[in-house]
Amino acid sequence: MLKLAMIGCNHRTADIAVRERLAFSPEQCKETLQKWSEAQTCEAVLLATCNRTELYVASENGTIIDDVAVGQFLCGEKNVAPETVRESLITLHDDEAVSHLFHVAGSLDSMVLGEPQILSQVKTAYQMANEIGTAGTVLHGLFQASLKVAKRIVGETEIHQRRTSIPSVAVADFAMQIFERLDDKKTLALGAGEMADETLRYLTDQGAKSILVINRSPDRAEKLAKQWHGRADVWENRFARLAEVDLVVSTTGATEPIVRLDDYLAIESRRQGRPLFVLDLAVPRDFDSAIGARENVFLYSVDDLKETCERNQQSRNRELPKAEKIIRQERCKFWRDMRSRETGSIIRRLREDWKSRKEAELTRLFHKLPNISEADQREVRYAFDRLINKLLHPPLESLRDEADQSHHSVTYLLQDAISRLFRLKD
């Protein structure tokens, strides 16, 4: 009997302090799955992102999945005492686990509805388990189905067509309206916090390559620049660099503008009329609003973006029923496929068992009737085959019907009953 479970935590169940303690780097994921393969018989896929650590485990042969032991294994890999995070860990079984993964892959369980990065993270987790060998038949089927869910949600709804975070809207709905392409544009990030990091991620996704980071802390500027394959500069050079770039992302925590109108006027002529796109995502604002009135300057603040974010969020929410319908359809199909696979195994074992008994009985019969002709032997064999097929037909039809229509637990009960009734061996 097939068993499925998911043990872990995410942004809905655990605060960031807990998620940090249970965070796995890609290398740690690989090491953890290798240890699992050496000590466990169940299948496993470890999905680890900044917002979730979820271990999916499965058993096809009826092996009981010990939730407590799995949780202890997960915690042990991070040297975390299980009792200190017990309230943040969740366990989902069978249909709930399937539904959860489908919501995750479809980006319906993300902090930001429709956030696109999660799908690649699900793919990476699945591919890693494949390479190490911890993903077997069940999890192959489950994760392949989750990728299909995500593809359908992208193709059949508008959830992924509307950005809802400030950085994503800033890039997709504003920057890309000014510039046809970003690969030949110079980008300046003023500030090196999370907002700058996220905005640079969206910009690089759109092709941005030349990135310069300036921050009051040189070390933080160097770190962020290195992450996005750019370079860093010192705070005092911000005005000089402003004269050279095409796009600015400003996210500092300054209490007053870091670029005043006079500062911009001093370097304006050096820009030679080239368009300047400024995403001022700081609160309070980093750029004097009067700069936005200058020719060829496109200056947007958080307030300019919020309306678009809210409008896009409402549009996404209207698409949720379509996405949920897709998940229900694919969840039913997944269980139907799994049931059909197990039903096929039962049917083969039952046929093989009866065929073996038939052959033994025919051998005994023909031994007692040594003078029976070959024609009569064929007739007797034909009669045995017809009788066996008629006897097998009702239980096999019941198995097929239940696999197509019933809940998986009903089908498993029937499979178990037939296996016990006919004493079928695995």
What is the model's pLDDT at position 415?
66
The active-site residue, picked from 50, 75, 309, 332, is 50
DSSP collapsed to 3 states, the chain: CCEEEEEEEECCCCCHHHHHHCCCCHHHHHHHHHHHHHHCCCEEEEEEECCEEEEEEEECCCCCCCHHHHHHHHHHHCCCCHHHHHHHCEEEEHHHHHHHHHHHHCCCCCCCCCCCHHHHHHHHHHHHHHHHCCCCHHHHHHHHHHHHHHHHHHHHCCHHHCCCCHHHHHHHHHHHHHCCCCCCCEEEEECCCHHHHHHHHHHHHCCCCEEEEECCCHHHHHHHHHHCCCEEECHHHHHHHHCCCCEEEECCCCCCCCECHHHHHHHHHHHCCCCEEEEECCCCCCECHHHHHCCCEEEEEHHHHHHHHHHHHHHHHHHHHHHHHHHHHHHHHHHHHHHHHHHHHHHHHHHHHHHHHHHHHHHHHHHHCCCCCHHHHHHHHHHHHHHHHHHHHHHHHHHHHHHHHCCHHHHHHHHHHHHHHCCCCC
Most confident of the following: 205-219, 294-308, 359-373: 205-219
406 in the same domain as 295: no
192 and 180 share one domain = yes
Q: What confidence score (pLDDT) does residue 235 get?
A: 97
What is the average per-residue pLDDT within 310-321?
A: 78
Please tell me whether residues 68 and 174 are part of one structural domain.
no
- 330 located within any domain: no
Q: pLDDT category, 284, cuts 50, 70, 90?
A: confident
Same domain, 93 and 198: no
Show which of 147, 162, 177 is a domain's final residue.
Answer: 162
Mean pLDDT, range 273-278, rounded to an integer = 94
Are 141 and 200 within one domain? no
Do 370 and 280 belong together in one domain? no
pLDDT over threshold 60, residue 162 = no
8 shares a domain with 100: yes
145 and 171 within one domain: no
Q: Total structural domains in the chain?
A: 3
Supply the range of the domain harboring residue 400.
338-421
Output the pLDDT for position 178: 83
Residue 329 in any domain: the answer is: no
Same domain, 141 and 182: no
Q: Is 320 part of any domain?
A: no
Query: Which of 115-124, 290-299, 365-374 is predicted most confidently?
Result: 290-299
Question: At which of 135, 162, 189 does a domain end?
Answer: 162
Is residue 314 in some structural domain?
Answer: no
pLDDT at position 413, please? 67
- Domain-embedded: residue 105: yes
> Is 313 inside any structural domain?
no
Does residue 321 form part of some domain? Answer: no
Q: Which of 162, 189, 218 lies at the terminal end of a domain, its last residue? A: 162
Same domain, 65 and 121: yes
- pLDDT-wise least confident of 171-185, 240-254, 375-389: 171-185
**CATH number of domain containing 265:** 3.40.50.720
Same domain, 173 and 294: yes
Q: Does one domain contain both 264 and 296?
A: yes
The structure's pTM equals: 0.63
Is 309 noted as a catalytic residue in this protein?
no
Q: Is residue 319 part of a domain?
A: no
